[in-house]
Structure 1
């Protein structure tokens, strides 16, 4: 069996769909994407994953059923890739399948990604590498972000560079010319903006920041949001998710805000600036010599957010598409690479990033 063809499957914090990539890692730092696919998350499954972020009845049963449903979706995405590339499952070394994060509390020693990798292996006839985060958490780390080693392999440069992923949560990788790699979550990217626009307009997300562009960001509210959350001032290593930045977090702060009443679109514009401000704070504080920022993730398609970011960052923004990787496929490609790293015994869990006691080989294998 060739050891160079891997599939990566990713469904992120936004729970809007599954991104899938089939790549050839003959040259690990320059993978060749052979096929790609994106499948929308079925509404019922998306609602279930969001509900499982908080305590509820029959969680064990519901999470198991949701994991099976996700594995079926993953299997469908895998079949699409194989059809596109005209390959049989016997040609693929392994699938890297992240699963859907519903709880993340490394301080308590756990992180939960709902998945059914054994079922995925059964449905596809391909070995599956899954459960990427728990080994790092067991070693005292945050279990996140996991992609800095991958970012280093693909995007390292002779000058200081940051790679910024704008999913539900924003995370940044800081790459130094000397090979030093750091990374951490900076806070919300799309999660709060999505929650607010869904609540007020019924649409899934603010496409290209069009609704935010009709409002005016309120500096008093922005300052209040920044002051009211101690997590923003924590030093790395740090990670976060919907456990913290959720509807309850947003409503508590809007209820406590003592400024003048704001229009709904003004709040959206302020939440967009909150994302930009927290990212800029992290880069300026921990990598002031950064010469450029490569952006990826769904938020890279939000023109309004990109404009806000460019205003507050002291260096130019580019996208990973300029380097051959479409912005919405970077994380799926990262998990194909992490599967490659697991199979080849490469320790992709980096203590400088996660705070773990030692570097770890991430994931575990479910044979075909």
Structure 2
């Protein structure tokens, strides 16, 4: 196991919304957080997004994955090379296919390629080990949420909600030192993906900025009631979704009503998640792109029994939290510490995933 010391680590995340790559520096030993460093974002171009969308659902033996991997590696190399030298890089890649219990999980992009380009060791392929050992392979951020809860001085259980392409939630108790005993986490329902897809298909826009169009609509309660009966919500966690999460039926609805119904669908999934928590959280902290959608945030707050706020109110960066998490997880991988556990991914025992690739000129 690597000797415990603080490392300057660069983490990168490209989520299911396919908007671009987030990158953030974290100073950490994989247990505590010493400092947050610089951040940067590199959007995917329309052409790059088209390549990635075309490869969604593809496995490594599919010819579409080569073009997708090239997009992912090029975008990450361009962004990460802007940073000053670091001790380590955590690279998530771009999820194209996720089928735990079936074919496994597939994130496009090679950490070996990035290690050569950046001249720094890269930890990557975080999910495969968990899936091979029977876990869902997601979500992987919960142990970092536990570290954040301790960092911000939470004194009782709190919940962290991330709204990306899908939504996932972590319930964590900072009074318990070990994250694998202190977390319950799971994907809780749809996120931004369906709303973004609708805006792109109907209006040629990448998203409903601030939820402005959804705010003009009326959710269809009948369709939401049917959506809430989906068996996924009653399934005992841990559980995970891919980009094709269940969503309310919006067929035939006008744009504003369709978006309002999808927004209410996100809030419904969050509200139903509270039924699985061991005890009520003192606060729900929200990160991810969805927290910028005022309509979604208003609906979530209305359906929750605890105060709800974006993580910025705790002094955190909601846009970069997942990139920071993969920096933190990278250190845990090289130190031989677990990155997931039975109550986060459903794996039989705590497991440390990830592959470490070193640049050709570095000796072990």
TM-score, normalised with respect to structure 1: 0.89
Partner residue of 1:150 out of 132, 139, 144: 144
Partner residue of 2:208 out of 206, 209, 222: 206
1:105 equivalenced with 2:99 (yes/no): yes
Q: Mark the runs of 5 or more structure 1 residues left unpaired by the alignment.
A: 83-88, 256-260
For the 8 Å contact 1:104–1:243, the answer to whether it is kept is no
**Whole-angstrom distance in 1 between the partners of 2:104 and 2:174:** 34
Task: Give, in angstroms, the shift of residue 355 of structure 1.
Answer: 1.0
Runs (4+) of structure 1 exceeding 6 A deviation are none
Task: Give, in angstroms, the shift of residue 297 of structure 1.
Answer: 0.6
CA shift digits 1:204-236 (9 cap, x unpaired): 011110000011112112112223x32222111
Partner of 1:268, secondary structure, is helix
Change (3 A) 1:30 1:324: farther
**Whole-angstrom distance in 2 between the partners of 1:27 and 1:100:** 23
Partner of 1:44, secondary structure, is helix
**Whole-angstrom distance in 1 between the partners of 2:155 and 2:224:** 36
Partner residue of 1:95 out of 89, 95, 98: 89
Higher mean displacement: 304-313 or 193-202: 193-202
Change (3 A) 1:341 1:203: same
1:189 equivalenced with 2:218 (yes/no): no
Change (3 A) 1:75 1:203: same
Partner of 1:353, secondary structure, is coil
**Whole-angstrom distance in 1 between the partners of 2:146 and 2:58:** 37
Change (3 A) 1:287 1:209: farther
Aligned residue in 2 for 1:16: 19
For the 8 Å contact 1:213–1:269, the answer to whether it is kept is yes
Change (3 A) 1:109 1:195: same
**Whole-angstrom distance in 1 between the partners of 2:70 and 2:12:** 15
Partner residue of 1:337 out of 318, 323, 328: 328
Q: Mark the runs of 5 or more structure 2 residues left unpaired by the alignment.
A: 177-181, 360-364
Change (3 A) 1:55 1:139: closer
Aligned residue in 2 for 1:309: 300
**Whole-angstrom distance in 1 between the partners of 2:305 and 2:279:** 9
For the aligned residue pairs, the C-alpha RMSD in angstroms reads 2.1
Partner residue of 2:285 out of 289, 294, 298: 294
Partner of 1:225, secondary structure, is helix
1:74-93 matched pairs, under 5 angstroms: 74-82=76-84, 89=85, 92-93=86-87
Partner of 1:267, secondary structure, is helix
Aligned residue in 2 for 1:73: 75
1:114-193 matched pairs, under 5 angstroms: 114-156=108-150, 157-176=154-173, 178-179=175-176, 180-193=182-195
CA shift digits 1:58-98 (9 cap, x unpaired): 9633312321221121111112222xxxxxx3xx2211000
Aligned residue in 1 for 2:179: none
Change (3 A) 1:5 1:307: same
Partner of 1:108, secondary structure, is coil
Partner of 1:141, secondary structure, is coil
For the 8 Å contact 1:109–1:138, the answer to whether it is kept is no
Change (3 A) 1:287 1:219: farther
Partner of 2:136, secondary structure, is coil
Task: Give, in angstroms, the shift of residue 277 of structure 1.
Answer: 0.9
Change (3 A) 1:28 1:285: closer
Partner of 1:241, secondary structure, is coil
1:351 equivalenced with 2:364 (yes/no): no
Aligned residue in 2 for 1:233: 234
For the 8 Å contact 2:291–2:310, the answer to whether it is kept is yes
Task: Give, in angstroms, the shift of residue 50 of structure 1.
Answer: 1.5
Change (3 A) 1:362 1:5: same
Task: Give, in angstroms, the shift of residue 29 of structure 1.
Answer: 2.2
